[in-house]
A = this chain, B = another copy of it.
Amino acid sequence: MEELEGNGASSVSSNEIGEKIWVGSHSVRKDISYIGEIGTVGSGYEIAKLKKHIGEKLGLNVERKACVVGLGKLGTAILQNEKLFSNNFKIVAGFDSSINKIETLVTHIPVYPAYDLADIIRKQGIELAVITVPGHASRDIIDRLVEGGIRGIVNFSSVPLHATYKEKVYVSNFDIAGEFRFLSALFTMEQQHHG
């Protein structure tokens, strides 16, 4: 979108969108239609209008606060990469159980001891978290995140986490080793089908 706007275009067709994201124009139209009739027959979708509508429906226009739990190698890499986050997500806190880590880490983002987790999340209204603690600690961490009222979690620890639907907390598991297994399975199955 930004790319197209940069090129001076002010509207875009379902076909163009489809090509960009590798899906059929049918699907693009159908998906967009779920959030309302906002296209113009003959010319397509007005980009600014489309972005506004999607943003409103999906709550992407409001700024949301995020935190990182577990400031090891991976956690600090993410913490220090806030430029990666689009302007509606802000990492406002880091947590670790090791006081040593907290005291030695140099970053302009406030870092706290992990026992304050639930409290700080609640007080600051943090809605999103990235978990980068060792696997054995992740179960405990998610419980406390939920206790603090977290809404969404990206879990990098090697043990897959399931948030209970009842508590309305959504979690995505990012597991490199698991993904490697999945990818291997894909291409071995392909080979077994004779390739």
Give chain A's interface residues, CB within 8 Å of chain B.
21-22, 57-60, 64, 66, 72-74, 76-78, 80-81, 84-86, 89, 127-128, 130, 151-154, 158, 160, 162, 168, 170, 172, 174, 176-177, 179-192, 195
Given contacts A22-B162, A84-B176, A130-B176, contact A183 B73 (CB under 8 A): no
Quote the shortest CB–CB distance from A61 to chain B (angstroms). Answer: 10
CA distance A76 to B187 in the complex (A): 27
Return the contact of A180 from the options B128, B186, B195 (Cβ within 8 A): B128
Interface centre among A127, A168, A177 (most CB of B within 10 A): A177
CA distance A184 to B99 in the complex (A): 31
Quote the shortest CB–CB distance from A1 to chain B (angstroms). Answer: 14
**A184–B59 touching, CB < 8 Å:** yes
Quote the shortest CB–CB distance from A165 to chain B (angstroms). Answer: 10
Return the contact of A183 from the options B78, B86, B170, B174 (Cβ within 8 A): B170
Given contacts A59-B185, A189-B57, contact A89 B152 (CB under 8 A): no
Chain B residues, CB < 8 A from A183: 128, 151-154, 170, 172
Chain B residues, CB < 8 A from A60: 181, 184-185
Return the contact of A152 from the options B81, B154, B172, B186 (Cβ within 8 A): B186
Interface centre among A60, A86, A179 (most CB of B within 10 A): A179
CA distance A170 to B190 in the complex (A): 11
CA distance A73 to B77 in the complex (A): 5
**B154–A58 touching, CB < 8 Å:** no
**A170–B152 touching, CB < 8 Å:** no
**B152–A184 touching, CB < 8 Å:** yes
CA distance A188 to B66 in the complex (A): 16
Report the nearest B residue to A188, measured CB to CB.
B59
Chain B residues, CB < 8 A from A172: 179, 182-183
**B176–A154 touching, CB < 8 Å:** yes
